Amino acid sequence: MTGTMIGVTNANEQQALDRAQEVRQFEDSNLGVKGLLDSGLSTLPPMFIHPPDLLSSLKPVVGLKTDSIPIIDLSGSNSDRRPSVIEEVARAAREFGFFQIVNHGVPTEVLGQTIAAVKAFHEQPAEVKARIYRRESETGVAFFASSVDLLHSNVACWRDSLRIRSGPVLPDEEEIPEVCRNEVMEWNQQTQHLGVLLMGLLSEGLGLSPSKLQDMTCVEKRNMLGHYYPYCPQPDLTVGLKPHTDKGVITVLLQDQVGGLQVKHGEAWLDVTPSPGVLIVNIGDLLQIMSNDEYKSVEHRVLANPGPEPRLSVAVFYYPLECENQIGPIPELVSPEKPAAFRQFKLGEYLKRFQTEVLDGKTLKNHFKT
């Protein structure tokens, strides 16, 4: 090894050590990103600055025409309109992996109250939130900064999150922060009912019985994440959330009116423009696997927030219940004409890999291809 190569190696090792120390100091502070900002920060710490190749992809492609994320009216889903709703949902799940829904049954006031409650939690004093700052929690409630893989990722993201287990049972009431407790409980009930409706439509879109995905416990296990994206002093150097695919069956997302979510479609990144009363649904890796590659789990990201008002979003992730159950393409969707695109595996194996993988633009489903 030449002296130059040794020098580069030593420099890289020192850079990694410096980053690990910076991350540990930030994590031990329990402040979160908003706490950093409130301390008077005017420039990004190095751990939040992303590499040039990712940052260059944030620039819009001049002259590129793109389609919009489909908006689907769910009214009449249990009437004679159901076949046309199923067709729209299935087409969007196959072509985009994302769709927006209106007339979904969740009252408008619940949407507003949920966003307001999550905002109220994140805007509490740092010392109040620090009491539940943790990456893992047996209580089912945790507050943490950046992303779940912060401690072993290459770069951090400019956001804070409140995670609450919402299925099969909520945490004990006293564990849920009082400032958002009632709203979280109501939101959980609404999204459980909505999950049943969506799983039915997606099942029928695959030619299966309406109850197929529900019978596979795909509505039972849910996690709620309430994200807070504060103003970023250098939004051109970082992101709110790195490009990734979701790992579950589906995700239901409520976002406020600030914007910043983008979905990859082909080579383009499409803005998901906020609209009052709209919820966003996307296909997760598990459903792409179970559908034998019919439905698509696609990359999405959130830009850093350049404006004075924080961006709020609330996501519900749906997973099957039992970790020992075998996951793979649903047998009815496998044939000589369309053989299994993925192998069978235990859900526990999948979730363990998710907890140890760095998420930087990678997707878990590729590990299980045949």
Q: Where residue 8 falls among pLDDT bands split at 50, 70, 90?
A: very low
Residue 330 has pLDDT above 60, yes or no: yes
Per DSSP, the three-state class of 326 is: strand
What is the average pLDDT across 313-333? 91
pLDDT reported for residue 200: 98
Give residue-wise pLDDT tens across range 259-318. 999 999 988 899 999 999 999 999 999 999 999 999 999 999 999 999 999 999 999 999
- Cα separation of 220 and 184, whole Å? 17
Assigned token pair, 179: 């400032």
pLDDT reported for residue 55: 85
- Cα separation of 180 and 349, whole Å? 33
- Cα separation of 212 and 224, whole Å? 24
Residue 124: CB atoms within 10 A of its CB come to 15
Closest CA to 281 of 111, 106, 92, 55: 92
- Cα separation of 33 and 53, whole Å? 24
pLDDT reported for residue 364: 66
3-state helix, strand, coil in the chain (%, to 5): 40, 20, 40
> What would be the CATH architecture of the domain defined by 21-368?
Sandwich (2.60)
> Which of 76-90, 225-239, 325-339, 350-364 is least confident?
350-364
- pTM here? 0.92
pLDDT reported for residue 297: 97
Give residue-wise pLDDT tens across range 179-188. 999 999 999 9
Closest CA to 154 of 260, 227, 239, 57: 239
Assigned token pair, 238: 């970082």
Q: Among the residues of 254-364, which ranges form H helices?
A: 285-290, 347-356
Assigned token pair, 185: 């409980």
Per DSSP, the three-state class of 82 is: helix
- Cα separation of 244 and 272, whole Å? 16
- Highest average pLDDT, of 51-55, 113-117, 342-346, 357-361, comes from 113-117
Q: Which residue has the higher pLDDT, 5 or 259?
A: 259
Phi, psi of 318 (to 5 degrees): -105, 130
Element (H, E) at 41: none
pLDDT reported for residue 354: 65
User: Could you tell me the residue ranges of all domains in the chain?
Assistant: 21-368
